[in-house]
Chains A and B, each alone.
Chain A
Amino acid sequence: DVKVTQSSRYLVKRTGEKVFLECVQDMDHENMFWYRQDPGLGLRLIYFSYDVKMKEKGDIPEGYSVSREKKERFSLILESASTNQTSMYLCASSFLGQGRGQPQHFGDGTRLSIL
């Protein structure tokens, strides 16, 4: 069974802090994704990565950066946290398929509060 593990379920940080969210997957997936989930807005893609050291911006990358130094680990970084980044953050991974249709596997999420 695929396992996507996010390092924290709940996190509280202060405005201006640099925040790291970590995600690890154990299925040798090429693709990894970071989303934020907000009521009424659904899931919005922040960044994704299809290989080590490769990254692409999603729909809402402003205020975030990512790091993928190893295939199994994908980190989301809030460079200077702000209150509007209070949200649920979801990590996902998937195989790099020959075509489309590869399902994404999600972690439990990290509920981040910025005070």
Chain B
Amino acid sequence: AQRVTQPEKLLSVFKGAPVELKCNYSYSGSPELFWYVQYSRQRLQLLLRHISRESIKGFTADLNKGETSFHLKKPFAQEEDSAMYYCALSSISRNEKLTFGTGTRLTIIP
């Protein structure tokens, strides 16, 4: 069975400090992983996906198959990064079903 673990429910970081949101997964096949973000009073939206290997809003995430991790990182936190972040794993089926972690609420302290 596939599973996504986000060990931190809450994370507070000072503005300008580095940010790392942890995500670990268990999956028997080759994973497809995503980070979704929900800003206050906004809908849940895709932040980035590992197959794109892109940096969005200064965030990056590297898939580490050895450690089964997909941690989200940003070198210098900004106040507008405060949000709820969800890590998600895509099913092997063609239906793109996602399994979400329980989420991490990130608060940037001015």
Contact A43 B100 (CB under 8 A): yes
Do A100 and B44 contact each other (CB < 8 Å), given the known contacts A42-B102, A43-B86, A45-B98?
no
Number of A-B contacts (CB under 8 A): 63
Q: What is the CA–CA distance of A40 and B10 in the complex, to the nearest angstrom?
A: 10
Contact A50 B95 (CB under 8 A): yes
Do A48 and B95 contact each other (CB < 8 Å), given the known contacts A42-B102, A101-B49, A101-B90?
yes
Q: Who on chain B is nearest to A4 by CB?
A: B43
Q: Who on chain B is nearest to A97 by CB?
A: B96
Q: Which of B43, B86, B91, B95 contacts A96 (CB 8 A)?
A: B95
Q: How many residues of B contact A (CB 8 A)?
A: 24
Residues of chain B with a CB closer than 8 A to A42's CB = 6, 86, 100-103
B65 at the interface (CB under 8 A from A): no
Smallest CB separation, A85 vs chain B (Å): 19
Contact A100 B90 (CB under 8 A): yes
Q: How many residues of A contact B (CB 8 A)?
A: 30
A22 at the interface (CB under 8 A from B): no
Binds B, one of A11-19, A63-71, A74-82, A104-112: A104-112
Contact A90 B44 (CB under 8 A): yes
Q: Who on chain B is nearest to A54 by CB?
A: B95
Smallest CB separation, A81 vs chain B (Å): 24
Q: What is the CA–CA distance of A40 and B98 in the complex, to the nearest angstrom?
A: 18
Mark B36-47 against chain A: 1 for CB-CB distance below 8 A, else 0: 000000011110
Contact B102 A109 (CB under 8 A): no
Residues of chain B with a CB closer than 8 A to A56's CB = 95
A83 at the interface (CB under 8 A from B): no
Q: Which of A48, A58, A100 contacts B92 (CB 8 A)?
A: A100
B positions within 8 Å CB-CB of A: 6, 9, 32, 34, 43-46, 49, 51, 86, 90-92, 94-103
12 A-B Cβ contacts within 8 A?
Answer: A31-B96, A41-B102, A42-B100, A42-B103, A45-B97, A97-B94, A101-B32, A101-B49, A101-B90, A102-B96, A105-B46, A109-B43
